[in-house]
Structure 1
Amino acid sequence: MDIEDERVTVVVASRDRRDELLASLPAHRARVILVDNGSTDGSADAVAATFPEVRVIRLPRNVGAVARTIGARAATTPFVAFADDDSWWAPGSLHDAADVLADHPRLGLVCAKILVGSEERTDPVSEEMAASPLPQEVSVPGSALLGFVACATMVRRSAFLASGGFDPVVRFPGEEERLALDLAAGGWAMSYVQDVVVHHHPSPSRQPPGARQHAMARAATLTALMRLPWRDAVGRIRQVAAQSPNHRSGVVRGLCEAPAALRRRRPVPAEVAAMRRLLVR
């Protein structure tokens, strides 16, 4: 693999997607750490045999997004770019994102524009980020964020780890929200930079929509309990539950796991809660 920028490590977390990994890993132009989430399809062995330059960390069980935190801890570069087994950073984008972080020390992360599939459609989430209503500091490029998409994000490793990385309560999916709140609480800015690009070719091995709605509602419930002021938390949970039966079941699942979330409860400062309310409106 060619090294595009010595300041960057790409961390890939994967489980049971051997074919996708073998196809996407050659596209990474950086040092790569693969954190295997307890795969049973021979993913780790196949990568170790085919790409000996990739560092493979084998976990005995699936820990969800915490695998990315494990990979970031193992990295030694100042910046860590996350990728999924079905995504990769476009040529030049790792270098460009690293330059943005290096030139703006208040930035905790940069989120790239996501192009989906061989037709390279702009992901609707990217369009939403580009239109962010949050006030942007003149000294920070791009659109101001209070959220991101993990597989299209490069983090300042020190800020990411100081903010706790991805946690074992939410796990996956929906892991980004709590981390974004903690980064903002720590004084870190986050930006969407549309000149930086990530390609995403969604794997056919994915959760069905109903299961994903359930999982995202669970994550939203747990994040609300951990970080939002009580009034905001109750409003958020009610809003999520009202969306569909799948969402309601996810909220119930999250409430069943509330003790773990409440043990980690640390409401964000008022100014961060106000930023979130602006986004909700």
Structure 2
Amino acid sequence: MSLPAYPRPEHVAGALAPAQPAYDADVIILALDRAEDTIAAIASARAQTGVASHVWIADQGSRPENLRLLAQAVEGAPDATLVRLDRNWGVAGGRNRATALGTGRCIFALDNDAEFARADTLAAAVHALDAEPDLAAIACRILVHATGRDDLSSWGYPASLLPRAAESFDTVTFVGAGHAIRRSDFEAAGGYDDALFFCWEEFDFALRAINMGKRIRYRGDIAVRHKVSGEQRFAWSGTRWFHFVRNRLYIALKYGAAAPGLLPRFLAYQLKGARNGVLAQGLRAGPAALRLARAFRPRPEEAALYHLTPAARDYLARNDAAHRGGLSRRIRAELLAALPGAGPR
């Protein structure tokens, strides 16, 4: 399996192609305004040592003045390329299109408000993937840029594992702010699902990788520094909650869950949404998830990836459910978090 043949985006600035045909890693950065932060992310990526890499910046609709600033940052650079996509494809679709531009055996996605924690972080991620062929992805530790403390809003793992943030363990997902994926596994799993736009796209990919017999490894010694405060990141406005609920339900349906069985989770989400003033978003998300699931048609060669094997289910149980206490306990926690007096989570 391979990624679709996306139309070549418009070249804006930087190299027309990587300096060498074979190299270790592509660093992909999605841009949508926030020029100052994005330029810092680009500089951090270009400063990585001990590894042959190319930096791809895919702009998804920045204002002209911000696009000019990004172009100036990579003008004449032999190791970086700025392209402009035809529209905003979201995180999932944008990463797919940026990834398709390169050929490095490792793909490192870096948020445009993040930076590598050390000059050898990228090299460490590439080495980690090379050292363990059954790893599909490396989940980085995400630190608050200003303090160096763990970014709690980017902790995408069971809360019981937070004391092990500096350690390493197998997991069932990774956080988008900073992660590395083996290109061959990314292509074999079909990349991200464009329909997700943003939220849960990493978990959806990870499920397919795990179903292929691969592992996802959290590495507390491989870190990026994130400029969004862990206490302020989740916004209960716009459409973020809609995408959160819709995408999680859609993913469950994709992998064979029956719609009636998702009702307790859906109701828990509605209680939480009501507590935080976004009930309408959550209510719209249910029908939207059903529509996406009905429209989902995997290619014949992909169909088996959406039927979890016994080995995949065992992996999920050992590396996620065992740390969360089972579905009923998780739903009770969601319900309690939605009650008056409980803050947003």
Query: Which TM-score tier does this pair reach, normalised by the shorter chain?
Result: 0.7 to 0.9
Equivalent of 2:30 in 13, 16, 26: 13
Equivalent of 2:266 in 234, 237, 240: 237
Residues in 2 aligned to 1:273 and 1:241: alpha-carbon distance in whole angstroms: 28
Residues in 2 aligned to 1:86 and 1:159: alpha-carbon distance in whole angstroms: 26
Other-structure match for 1:208: 235
Equivalent of 2:294 in 252, 262, 279: 262
Q: 1:50-199 counterparts in 2 under 5 A?
A: 50-52=73-75, 53=77, 54-65=80-91, 66-91=93-118, 92-124=120-152, 125-126=154-155, 128=157, 132=161, 142-199=168-225
More deviation, 18-27/261-270: 261-270
**Higher radius of gyration, 1 or 2:** 2
Residues in 2 aligned to 1:166 and 1:249: alpha-carbon distance in whole angstroms: 24
Cα contact 2:156–2:175 (8 A) shared by 1:
no
Cα contact 2:121–2:222 (8 A) shared by 1:
yes
Residues in 1 aligned to 2:283 and 2:110: alpha-carbon distance in whole angstroms: 28
Other-structure match for 1:24: 41
1:164 Cα offset (Å): 1.9
Amino acid across the alignment from 1:88: E
Q: Deviations over 1:58-84 (max 9, x none)?
A: 112111021111111111110010011
TM-score between the two structures when normalised by the length of structure 2: 0.69
More deviation, 269-278/49-58: 269-278
1:154 Cα offset (Å): 0.4
Amino acid across the alignment from 1:120: G
Residues in 2 aligned to 1:47 and 1:207: alpha-carbon distance in whole angstroms: 27
1:111 Cα offset (Å): 0.7
Other-structure match for 2:68: 45
Q: 1:36 to 1:127 in 2, by over 3 A?
A: closer
Unaligned stretches of 5+ residues in structure 2: 1-18, 298-305, 327-345
SS in 2 for 1:122: coil
Other-structure match for 2:300: none
Residues in 2 aligned to 1:130 and 1:260: alpha-carbon distance in whole angstroms: 30
Q: 1:250 to 1:165 in 2, by over 3 A?
A: farther
1:126 Cα offset (Å): 4.1
Residues in 2 aligned to 1:247 and 1:217: alpha-carbon distance in whole angstroms: 11
SS in 2 for 1:155: strand
Q: 1:13 to 1:129 in 2, by over 3 A?
A: farther
TM-score between the two structures when normalised by the length of structure 1: 0.84
Other-structure match for 1:252: 284
Amino acid across the alignment from 1:34: I
SS in 2 for 1:32: strand
Residues in 2 aligned to 1:46 and 1:209: alpha-carbon distance in whole angstroms: 31
Equivalent of 1:272 in 304, 308, 312: 312
Unaligned stretches of 5+ residues in structure 1: 134-140
Amino acid across the alignment from 1:20: D
Amino acid across the alignment from 1:184: I
SS in 2 for 1:77: coil
Residues in 1 aligned to 2:156 and 2:85: alpha-carbon distance in whole angstroms: 35
More deviation, 205-214/161-170: 205-214
Other-structure match for 1:137: none
Cα contact 1:17–1:41 (8 A) shared by 2:
no
The alignment's C-alpha RMSD in Å is 2.9
Kindly tell me the number of residue pairs found equivalent between the two proteins.
269
More deviation, 241-250/62-71: 241-250
1:234 Cα offset (Å): 4.3
Q: 1:143 to 1:260 in 2, by over 3 A?
A: same
Amino acid across the alignment from 1:73: A
